[in-house]
């Protein structure tokens, strides 16, 4: 039976596929998007997050740690060099200041956990959505879980950045009802600058997934002064029209994930970038519509 590291399971989502859904966030991603709102999924293995504003300096974490990874005398500091990720500190913390990100699960355990809300899926035509990180890095795990879900009458959805081998898509297409596919940039150099890798595989997979007849929705995280230019709109519109999918969903940038970077001791390189305003988002939506692209905004 396949296993994967699951970072979070979020119930009652209405923005990650049709109906009421449970979203399963898997750990690991081939991209390093500067604006990522789920940096905890970028870790290579389960990790520790610390929120200083929640800490009451009670000392329970220091007492629980056998590896001298805490200093709470002057300010609460976790020595990540000494931390072995035994997570005893997270278990001891009463205030949610120290949290564990990631738990290895079997496909069957995940199926059992997500099927508990089947009554809500059935009443809303919802289901389970695999997100991340990048879920297609674990195609066999997703395939095993999806097969069990589908056999139980629960629909499946995948949210993907597309930067994976085509074999992963081929494995999952027969087991997936809906695919949400991000196209962050058309410009290759900008894609490298802001995500750390080229977009050639992503665009080729977008072409192939469109030709497959799968139920795919293309989306774009919308970042102020980064990928909202007229040139990007024109190139994206032309590409979507060429592959026969003249539609896109915009996901305006927000700052709600910034605090996670400090908690994980990761440098946030988009500091100071404002959230995408509703007025600016609407103007870009109208620009896509004028190019013949059906465009919606995710709220």
Chunked into runs of 10 residues, the chain (299 residues) has average pLDDT values of 94 93 96 94 85 86 87 69 88 91 94 96 96 96 98 98 98 97 97 97 98 96 95 97 97 88 88 91 97 94
Question: Is the Cβ–Cβ distance between 273 and 223 less than 8 Å?
Answer: yes
Q: Please give the backbone phi and psi of residue 179, each rounded to the nearest 5 degrees, phi first.
A: -130, 125
Max CA separation in the chain (angstroms): 62
Q: Which residue has the tokens 């001791």?
A: 265
- pTM score, two decimals? 0.91
Distance CA 179, CA 70 (A): 43
Domains in the chain and their CATH numbers? 3-44+103-297 (3.20.20.70), 47-101 (3.30.70.20)
Measured CA distances, 184 to 92, 94, 160 (Å): 40, 40, 11
Give the pLDDT of residue 74.
55
Task: Please tell me the predicted confidence (pLDDT) of residue 181.
Answer: 98
Give the span between the Cα atoms of 163 and 183, in whole angstroms.
Answer: 10
Beta strands 127-131 and 21-26: pairing type? parallel
DSSP 273: P
pLDDT of residue 70: 81
| pLDDT computed for residue 75 by the predictor | 57
**The pLDDT value given to residue 62:** 87
- Give the angle 288-289-294 at the CA atoms, nearest 5°: 95
- 143-150 contact pairs (CB < 8 A, 24+): 143/2, 143/171, 143/172, 143/175, 144/1, 144/2, 144/107, 144/108, 145/107, 145/110, 145/111, 145/114, 146/172, 146/175, 146/176, 147/175, 148/107, 148/108, 148/111, 149/111, 149/114, 149/115, 150/175
Element holding 178 (H helix, E strand): strand 178-182
What is the rounded radius of gyration, in angstroms, for the C-alpha atoms of the chain? 20
- Residue 82 has what pLDDT? 83
């Amino acid at each position: 039976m396949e296993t994967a590291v699951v970072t979070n399971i979020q119930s009652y989502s209405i923005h990650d596929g049709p109906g009421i859904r449970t979203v399963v966030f898997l750990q690991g991603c081939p991209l390093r998007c500067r604006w990522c709102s789920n940096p905890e999924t970028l870790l290579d293995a389960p990790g520790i997050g610390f929120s200083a504003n929640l800490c009451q300096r009670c000392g329970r974490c220091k007492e629980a740690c056998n590896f001298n990874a805490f200093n709470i005398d002057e300010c609460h500091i976790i020595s990540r060099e000494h931390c072995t990720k035994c997570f005893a500190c997270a278990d001891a913390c009463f205030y949610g200041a120290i949290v564990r990100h990631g738990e290895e699960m079997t496909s069957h355990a995940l199926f059992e956990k997500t099927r508990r809300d089947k009554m809500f899926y059935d009443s809303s035509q919802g289901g389970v959505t695999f997100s991340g990180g990048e879920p297609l890095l674990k195609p066999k795990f997703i395939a095993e879980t999806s097969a069990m879900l589908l056999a139980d009458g629960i629909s499946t959805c995948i949210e993907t950045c597309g930067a994976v081998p085509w074999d992963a898509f081929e494995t999952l297409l027969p087991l997936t009802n809906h695919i949400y596919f991000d196209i962050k940039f058309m410009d290759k150099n900008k894609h490298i600058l802001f995500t750390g890798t080229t977009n050639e595989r992503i665009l080729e997979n977008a072409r192939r997934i469109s030709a497959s007849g799968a139920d795919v929705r293309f989306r774009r995280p919308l970042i102020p002064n980064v990928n909202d230019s007229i040139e990007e709109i024109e190139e994206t519109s032309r590409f979507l029209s060429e592959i026969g999918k003249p539609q896109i969903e915009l996901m305006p940038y927000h700052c709600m994930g910034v605090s996670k970077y400090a908690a994980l001791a990761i440098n946030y390189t988009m500091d100071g970038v404002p959230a995408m305003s509703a007025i600016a988002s609407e103007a870009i939506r109208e620009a896509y519509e004028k190019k013949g692209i059906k465009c919606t905004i995710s709220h």
